[in-house]
Amino acid sequence: MNDAILRAADRFVPALPAVDAEQTRRARAAVFLCWLGTFWALISTVIYAAFGSPVSGTSLAVVTLSLLLGPAAIRRGWSLPLIANALTAATWLATFVVASRTGGSRAAAMLWGVFHPLTAYAVCGLRWAVAWAMLSGAQIALIFASEVAGLPFAQDLTPNTPDVLELCVLLACIGTLALALGPLDIARRVSLADFEVDHRVLERERILSDIHDGVGTQLIGLIVELRAAKQIETARLLQNLESCVDDLRLAVHALYQPEPSLSVAFAELRARLQSRCDAAGIELAWSPGCLEPPPALSASDVLQALRVVQEAFTNALRHAHAGRIELSLRRPPTNSGVIEISISDDGVGFDPQRDPGAGRGLPIMRARARRLGGELALLPSAAGTSVVLRFPA
């Protein structure tokens, strides 16, 4: 049954981008509400016309026709807020007409205003729901104020009919809510499932891209070097393979941390780098500073920052001949909206002009810094080299 309802509704839902699950949900909700509104509006048209108020019946017939054309407008790709607000406005205006011909504030039609914010919320969101709640309240207040001021309201209906209509409207309200909640919940659950599938696809593509840019690039470079030189020193081969493994670990770690902590990720990277420093006889110092307020970074952003640290650390380990490497993570005292990561060594210094082979990673590091909206600074000196990454967070 649920699948049949969804298939019927989806015939009127225009083709939307796969990632826009919320827009699909709202389109389905709009189709359901148009069908439901058409059903009740048609019944109300017949009742009011049959019990002596052709003016009310005519205004409700206009609303019925508008609601009937709503799914077609949705299928043509018209703006959902425009359609929903136009149809709600038609009902809102019809309420004035029906109330003016069937007793003013005592008209059963006054209860229709309950549905305006509900339908607006289902299709347009909270802002429009609040707006229509205010408009419905203003409508009731205006009709009541007009009665107090002595403005007469006609009563076209036959005796006892207003009481019967009030009962019918109350029952219709309960029935409409019961009927509407089922299809709307189906649309919500299906859209959530679609969103989860789309999110997994995007996450998989991101991970594949990260692995390609990191491990893939390094392995391709290693293969090219092996083909050109026919052989490679065991120590250098081992270093390159260790770098590939580190990069793969970073990418996999990002997969399991959708909202990672930069401090925790930084500490885990430092723990992995410690073994390499121990094997090389190099002291590794870690200076975690205060990161208040905590940065709100995506997994991709954290991965970019850690890759810069990894590349700078690998360069220091391979080329600096250092006895000590220091990793620092902090917010500068002068700017609490910036994260600063520093990788410093006490080695022989670094000059990209003198050693171009060792500087091949600098353009990639700078590109990663730009992706973070920040910048990378290289500070060589007689006392060693510092690589400083700064980015807003």
pLDDT in tens, 112-156: 888 888 888 888 888 999 999 999 999 999 999 998 888 888 888
Instruction: Indicate the pTM of the whole model.
Output: 0.48
Q: Which fold has domain 233-392?
A: Heat Shock Protein 90 (3.30.565)
Using CA atoms, how far apart are residues 136 and 385, in angstroms rounded to an integer?
A: 69
Give the sheet arrangement for strand 375-381, strand by strand. Answer: 283-288, 324-330, 338-345, 384-392, 375-381
- The one-digit pLDDT tens for each residue of the chain (393 residues) are 556 766 777 788 776 554 466 787 788 888 888 988 898 899 889 988 888 889 999 999 999 999 999 999 988 888 989 999 999 999 999 999 998 888 888 888 888 888 888 888 888 888 999 999 999 999 999 999 998 888 888 888 877 777 777 777 777 777 666 666 666 666 566 666 666 666 666 666 666 656 655 666 567 666 656 666 666 677 767 767 776 776 676 666 655 555 667 888 788 778 777 877 887 788 999 888 778 778 888 777 887 888 888 888 878 877 778 899 999 999 988 888 899 999 999 888 766 555 544 455 788 788 889 889 999 998 877 778 899 999 998
3-state secondary structure at position 331: coil
pLDDT at 381: 75
331-370 pLDDT, tens digit per residue, is 988 888 899 999 999 888 766 555 544 455 788 788 889 8
Helices 299-319, 161-211: axis angle to 10 degrees equals 10
Buried-state track 298-322, b at ≥16 Cβ within 10 A, e below 16: ebbbbbbbbbbbbbbbbbbbebbeb
Residue 293 near residue 339 (C-beta atoms within 8 A): no
pLDDT at 251: 65
pLDDT at 19: 47
Q: What DSSP assignment string belongs to 250-278?
A: HHHHHHT-SS--HHHHHHHHHHHHHHHHH
Residue entry with tokens 């026919």? 230
pLDDT at 225: 60
Backbone region of residue 158 per phi and psi (left: phi > 0; alpha: psi in -120 to 50; beta: other values):
beta
Residues of the chain with CATH 3.30.565.10: 233-392
Using CA atoms, how far apart are residues 366 and 372, in angstroms rounded to an integer?
A: 10
Cβ-based neighbours of 336, under 8 Å, separated by 6 or more: 292, 293
Using CA atoms, how far apart are residues 363 and 133, in angstroms rounded to an integer?
A: 56
Using CA atoms, how far apart are residues 341 and 64, in angstroms rounded to an integer?
A: 64
- For residue 293, cis peptide bond before it (omega within 30 degrees of 0): yes
